[in-house]
Structure 1
Amino acid sequence: MSGQKACCHGPGYGTPLDAMKNGPREKLLYTVTVQPNLDEPHGDYLATVDVDPESPTYCQVIHRTFTNRTGDELHHSGWNACSSCYYIDDNAKQIPKRDKLILPSINSDFIYILDVITDPRKPTICKIIDGDVLKNHDVTAPHTTHCLADGNIMISTLGDAKGNAKGDFILFDTKNFDCVGTWTKGERKALCGYDFWYQPYFDVMVSTEWGAPRMFRRGFREEDLDDMTQYGCRLNFYKWSTHTLYQTIDLGTEGTAPLEVRFMHDPKRPEGYVGACMYSNIYYFKKKPDSDDFEAKKVIDIPAKLISVNGEKPKALNGMISDILLSLDDKYLYVNNWLHGDVRQYDITHPENPRLTGQVFLGGAICSDLKNVEVLEDKELKARPEPRYVKGRRLEAGPQMMQLSLDGKRLYISSSLYSPWDKQFYPKMIEKGGHIVQIDVDVVNGGMRLNEDFLVDFGKEPYGPTIPHEMRYPGGDCTSDIWLANDGK
């Protein structure tokens, strides 16, 4: 990218360390919130949560931007501009602004564009993109949103118009949010889709795979994993410049459902991590020397626990890793285990050998007070974790989406994975509502501790209990911002 004059700076920060050292403390937390009651007409919403400790409304939802439609399933979100637009062309007619938040709906295929700049505490919907727009391009189930430095917005999609598995991406311009078309070129297509991250310096983008929308939308069924053309187990690498898929790495059964993927924040480090959900493994991938190809290997293997529920036949309970996160200095990797109930911190100074430096239990499916559950074998714990209470409230479900403060000292964790699956695994969360908690992080030595004074309770929302999922800060964060190398690429 060219044009480094101060007047030409777009939104965000020049480097990840600039964001970490000079970024402000977060005061608002935009939280995608799902209404599990599909008969409630207000539907899902973006909750504006006050996380300013000096505020009288600290830990409260201070505004709700409702879609006023049912069945959307808002899931992830992204910006119209981020740090990838920090250096823009000297001749650019308009400097990008981070003023719109994009909310795709993974079930209805609708996309909501929110104005977050007129009143950051009260975002408003300024455009709605009908789900037929995606279907007309033979894609459905929009998921991850990233802005591009060329002025477009790219959203990953997980299926074709009929809900079969298909990995692709759809583009929208940032002026009117009109559809530009799909991104992938050439005959080769990914079998499945989910998350993605790009590194233009190495002319590469990586994407991951969940499964066919027609399958996961009806809830989790173990037999769905029998067809690995409709369920994912692969990493897909694309040429950023030509939009073509050039390498696929099959992770095998142990890598089933590789979900969140992160390149290192440093744009000159062609390496990263992906969390394989179903069997709770973390894979590290890196570019091969003198080659455009990548290699991947398992570096964290979290063992299943053998349990019996209601005296039935014993079964293996895997942790279900559904989110991972990297600190902006690429020092710590955070991993959740939604079913086991713990969140973990790993020191990745030596990236191929992560070292466990912190672990906190936040509920889960094996808590000691669950009388219908018997743990028959546990290769990690000598005793079942106690249920976790914060401010007198029992935490239902386990740790799910994570968001780290720019300085790395506060880790926010929500509880909802995906409402059809929530209803299966954690029905009490549906009944009582979800939550957000905060973990205090030791950024020097490693280690984590639950903040006993922080709780955002979604159990008494205006139209019944709701369940929070992904979280963002108004000024950007470490899971939405992508940095580009500033020496010409």
Structure 2
Amino acid sequence: MRTGPREELLYVICVQPNPGEGKSDVLATVDVNPNSPTYSQIVHMLRTGNQNDELHHSGWNVCSSCYHIAEGCVVPVRDKLVMPALGSDRVYIVDTGKNPRAPVLHKVIDASEMHEFNCATPHTTHCLPTGEIMISTLGDVNGNARGNFILIDGKTYKTKGTWIKGKEAKFNYDYWYQPYFDVMISTEWGVPRVFKKGFQLADAMNTEVYGRSLNIYSWKNKQLLQTIDLGEDGIAPLEVRFLHDPKKPVAFVGCGVNATVFRIFPKDGKWAVEKAFSIPPKKVTGWIEDKMRGLVTDILISLDDKYLYLSNWIHGDLRQYDISNPENPKLVSQVFLGGMIQTDSKIKVLEDPELTKQPDPVYVKGKRIYGAPQMLQLSLDGKRLYVSSSLLSPWDKQFYPECVKTGSFLLKLDVDVENGGMTLDKDFYVDFADTADGPLLAHEMRYPGGDCTSDIWLAD
């Protein structure tokens, strides 16, 4: 955090909302060096060349947990970005080392390799201390829910098999491991063939369609030890983040549908949860219910474990919480960037326990911001927060259809790391509307050297 380089490039996963001949999903390279003549511009677009991939999340071939090596061994190099396709089940291996500004495809792992083990819908990628790459898979080849993890050889990029030994979880989504405490925690979204079509409230309320549990594994034995039911407040627990300090057994998980964040910690030989905070619903007209729930879609923890950031995709705000005391998070900053309740919306807020008025539309460099904040990435020093707006293309089309025409936004907020606070940088705006392939939907972001959500450290 203190000695790492300032980010100069940002690799941004982009989905093509209007697929057609010559069009596909894209890995966009964005220049984020303020001294560069191409600052805040897309400088390269690497196309997958296939249709209906629905690129989503990504990860590295090597991260900090891989650097515990024997004396005299070759130090592994972080130079391959692993991009699973949530729609097609392909896995793209991208070489970022030869020319970081213009990455190239190194290998495409065909879906058949994953399907051989009846796994599909790949999501979260982490590199392991063994040198392997592990990807969470959310379903089977028929689109039913199935919680497992695919292992890929970190040198040959051949699929080796699955990780779990024994019982599997009912659902799957994100995961994080901490070897010091012999634990891995995975989360749950839902049935892939259902959520891939869009959002229906009835689906979310159905325990057979949407998950609401955390799954606790022994990292050493690869066995499911405990399942924690989070109840109605915990429908669709999505991103899970441990504190970065590998000797602190504390994690947070953001639960989508009812906008609740839980703290996870050990207790009496097992793992337990407590509600850290929740975002209250707003009483409205013109919506699918007479109340508008929040939707927590991404959370992120700064490298010094001081701040937790989250995106509230339906209401349209970013939040910064001080978690210096993990048992007592405090909201210290909130910024609205679009959302469903802007002053010119058809939705009218009748009662709001937090706001005195509906937020105004946001303009950056003369352009109206459509959509809402979704994926987050923080600079290593914690001073710059990047935010993109796409969730999943069927959901984008359902909730923010204008983004299919305007493309997503990618914005930057400046952060006060001492006292808390976020300020929108009105001079930074990446245009995903007028690209060579038309409007694109921007999702997850990575830095070439690693970032706040890709690295897991091992304790001595």
TM-score interval for Structure 1 and Structure 2 normalised by the shorter chain: over 0.9
Map 1:212-361 to 2 at 5 A: 212-289=191-268, 291=269, 293-309=270-286, 314-361=289-336
Partner of 1:32: 13
Among candidates 80, 97, 101, match of residue 61 of structure 2: 80
Gapped regions of structure 2 (runs ≥ 5): none
Deviations 1:150-207 (A, max 9, x none): 0100000000111111111000001110111000111x21110000000000110000
Compute the displacement of 1:38 (Å).
2.6
Look up the equivalent residue of 1:95 and give its one-letter code. V
2:425 maps to 1:444: no
Deviations 1:337-383 (A, max 9, x none): 0111110000011101100111111010000012x221122111110
Compute the displacement of 1:113 (Å).
0.3
**Structure-1 separation of matches of 2:205 and 2:340:** 25
**Structure-1 separation of matches of 2:283 and 2:206:** 25
Kept in 2: contact 1:437–1:456 (CA 8 A): yes
2:148 maps to 1:171: no
Among candidates 122, 136, 139, match of residue 119 of structure 2: 139
Partner of 1:384: 358
Compute the displacement of 1:327 (Å).
0.3
Partner of 1:459: 433
Look up the equivalent residue of 2:409 and give its one-letter code. H
Partner of 2:338: 363
Partner of 2:376: 402
Deviations 1:54-99 (A, max 9, x none): 000000000000001110000000000011112212264x321101
**Structure-2 separation of matches of 1:333 and 1:377:** 27
Map 1:108-187 to 2 at 5 A: 108-186=88-166
Compute the displacement of 1:313 (Å).
7.2
Give the direction of change, closer, same or farther, for the CA distance of 1:229–1:185 in structure 2 (3 Å limit): farther
2:10 maps to 1:23: no
Partner of 1:5: none
Partner of 1:202: 181
Partner of 1:477: 451
2:41 maps to 1:67: no
Kept in 2: contact 1:80–1:99 (CA 8 A): yes
Partner of 1:9: none
**Structure-2 separation of matches of 1:40 and 1:387:** 35
**Structure-2 separation of matches of 1:300 and 1:254:** 11
**Structure-2 separation of matches of 1:318 and 1:388:** 22
Compute the displacement of 1:253 (Å).
1.1
Deviations 1:438-487 (A, max 9, x none): 010000011111111111110101111111000000000010011110x2
Kept in 1: contact 2:143–2:193 (CA 8 A): yes
Partner-residue secondary structure (3-state), 1:21: coil
Look up the equivalent residue of 1:277 and give its one-letter code. G
The runs of 4+ residues in structure 1 deviating greater than 3 Å are: none
Partner-residue secondary structure (3-state), 2:428: strand
**Structure-2 separation of matches of 1:230 and 1:41:** 35
2:84 maps to 1:104: yes
**Structure-1 separation of matches of 2:444 and 2:237:** 18
Look up the equivalent residue of 2:53 and give its one-letter code. D
Compute the displacement of 1:222 (Å).
1.7
Partner of 1:190: 169
Partner-residue secondary structure (3-state), 2:402: helix
Partner-residue secondary structure (3-state), 1:477: coil
**Structure-2 separation of matches of 1:313 and 1:251:** 24
**Structure-2 separation of matches of 1:418 and 1:197:** 22
**Structure-1 separation of matches of 2:388 and 2:289:** 29
Partner-residue secondary structure (3-state), 1:322: strand
Look up the equivalent residue of 1:137 and give its one-letter code. F
Deviations 1:240-294 (A, max 9, x none): 01100001100011100000000110000111100000010000010115x1x11
Count of residue pairs brought into register by the alignment: 460
Map 1:415-434 to 2 at 5 A: 415-434=389-408
Identity among equivalent pairs (%): 55
Partner-residue secondary structure (3-state), 2:2: helix
2:24 maps to 1:43: yes
Kept in 1: contact 2:67–2:75 (CA 8 A): no
Superposition TM-score, scaled by structure 1 size: 0.93
Kept in 2: contact 1:259–1:274 (CA 8 A): yes
